[in-house]
Structure 1
Amino acid sequence: MSAQVKSRSRVQDHGEVFTNEREVNAMLDMVKQETERIDSRFLEPACGDGNFLAEVLRRKLSVVRSRYRRSLLEYEKYAFVAIGSIYGVDILEDNTQECRDRLLSIVEEDYLPVCKKRPTPGFLEAIHFVIGKNILCGNALSLKTVDSSGADTDDPIIFCEWSLVGDKVKRRDYRLDELLEGSASNIQPPLFGLSGTPTSEWELDEETGSMIPKPIREYPLVALYEVGQHE
């Protein structure tokens, strides 16, 4: 069982208390079906060093391995989908980096037996790149990124959406404040996001009946093993 507190000063300054593994699993079991759906998206707004996200990833990869371990290409595609669906924000830079390292280690531990310790060139590099974009140092209350001192910057938190189109990857970037602004009852798009800044263009999602922002940037399709090489 890992410690729930790193230091008294961190508790006093940031309210940092880590959730024990038993409680993590009990809470995730309440949405067990979603934790085992490979493409189900999870966002942890105060992710710490990744207690919740690590367990979600383990559950997703367990499903990937059980379904696709006989085909390395299929395993790599759906492992990419699994890690691409996991997002986290933490205000402390060391937590952010520890969470990234932890998630990458979980992928490597699951992947290396499947690929017989002969990773496909570019695969783990793509996973590393996605984790770096999905686990960010920021303030989940202000929805801004933070600097090395922990102070808010003027930049909004921006997350990437990763989706497979055949054997290639489509990346679209969204502002988190705009994503949180949309709701099923919101028929008119807001003029300003939660951070008080003008929003991007919005469109109606026919599936949910809600207004959703258009991406602030779209990228050309790229081979999975080249993700991050052309940014």
Structure 2
Amino acid sequence: MAEQVKSKQRVADHGEVFTNEREVNAMLDMVKQETERLDSRFLEPACGDGNFLAEILRRKLAVVKQRYGKNPRDWEKYAFVAVGSIYGVELLPDNAADCRKRLLSIVEEAWRRAIKTDGDPRFMGAISYVLARNILNGDALTMLDAEDNPIIFSEWSLVTGDKVKRRDFRLDEMLEGNVKQNESLSLFGDIADNGDVSPRSEWEYDEETQAFIPKPITEYPLTSFYEVMNGE
């Protein structure tokens, strides 16, 4: 695992101190069942270069190997589900890039061990695309990305066979979600310091959760998980 401190200057400027491996595993062991559930979603709001997310991914991929290691197509499908369940926001762009590379290398190493010569050549491209959508350079406090736009994450849902559904949501709306039926929502959007208004998505009442939840800002047609990078 990487050093806890990259430089004293980064600590002074950003308070950047990485969690060591022992603490990472101790904290994740508190939610062990969730770390081993392939579709259980995790969001790390200050993910650094991925200490927590890397360990979550390793645990999920160990489950994929145990359950689907004898079937290359199933291994790829459920490894995709595992990767699609992991999200991170990181303020420093070099850390965000390092996190994506780190997670990608973990998947590639596991893929080559599990699949050997029977893998689909599109698989790693799809994983790289998902990580580019799921690990973002931005500020989790303001919920804005590096271009000062609302952070938008993609939800990846396995539907049938190798088909997945992608839906994009604003992070701020998702965290504001589950507003009770008798509570009010902002109808006019977010007002910036300069007076500009960022319109909100529509909301709908969900009978199952008995709460209002935001509708996705974009929905994409069903597509093979191997082809998600071609969906835009």
The alignment yields a C-alpha RMSD, in angstroms, of: 1.7
User: Cα distance, 1:84 vs. partner?
Assistant: 0.1
The equivalent residue for 1:39 is 39
Aligned partner letter, 2:219: E
The equivalent residue for 2:5 is 5
| 1: CA distance, partners of 2:157 / 2:14 | 34
| 2: CA distance, partners of 1:193 / 1:64 | 44
Q: Which stretch of structure 1 is more off in the superposition, 173-182 or 218-227? A: 218-227
C-alpha change, 1:161 and 1:118, in structure 2 (3 Å) is same
Aligned partner letter, 2:67: R
The equivalent residue for 2:66 is 66
Moved over 2 A (4+): 183-189, 192-198, 204-210
The equivalent residue for 2:173 is 178
Taking the TM superposition and a 5 Å limit, the aligned residue runs for 1:28-177 are 28-147=28-147, 153=148, 155-166=149-160, 167-177=162-172
| 1: CA distance, partners of 2:111 / 2:173 | 35
Aligned partner letter, 1:112: R
C-alpha change, 1:22 and 1:222, in structure 2 (3 Å) is same
| 2: CA distance, partners of 1:66 / 1:194 | 46
User: Cα distance, 1:33 vs. partner?
Assistant: 0.5
| 2: CA distance, partners of 1:44 / 1:21 | 16
| 1: CA distance, partners of 2:230 / 2:183 | 38
User: Cα distance, 1:126 vs. partner?
Assistant: 0.3
C-alpha change, 1:41 and 1:212, in structure 2 (3 Å) is same
Q: Which stretch of structure 1 is more off in the superposition, 81-90 or 110-119? A: 110-119
Structure 2 gaps, min length 5: 192-197
Aligned residues: 225
Q: Which stretch of structure 1 is more off in the superposition, 111-120 or 38-47? A: 111-120
In the superposition, the TM-score normalised over structure 2's length comes to: 0.92
Cα deviation 1:27-76 (Å, max 9, x = unaligned)? 00000010000000000000000000000000001001100011111111
Aligned residue for 1:156, secondary structure, equals coil
User: Cα distance, 1:189 vs. partner?
Assistant: 5.5
Aligned partner letter, 2:207: E
| 2: CA distance, partners of 1:104 / 1:124 | 8
User: Cα distance, 1:103 vs. partner?
Assistant: 0.4
| 2: CA distance, partners of 1:162 / 1:179 | 15
C-alpha change, 1:181 and 1:114, in structure 2 (3 Å) is same
Counterpart check, 1:208 vs 2:209: yes
Aligned partner letter, 1:202: W
User: Cα distance, 1:11 vs. partner?
Assistant: 1.0
Structure 1 gaps, min length 5: 148-152
Q: Which stretch of structure 1 is more off in the superposition, 114-123 or 162-171? A: 114-123
Preserved contact between residue 182 and residue 212 of structure 1 (Cα < 8 Å): yes
User: Cα distance, 1:194 vs. partner?
Assistant: 8.9
Percent pairwise identity: 63
Aligned partner letter, 2:10: R
C-alpha change, 1:55 and 1:230, in structure 2 (3 Å) is same
| 1: CA distance, partners of 2:200 / 2:113 | 46
| 1: CA distance, partners of 2:36 / 2:164 | 22
Q: Which stretch of structure 1 is more off in the superposition, 48-57 or 4-13? A: 4-13
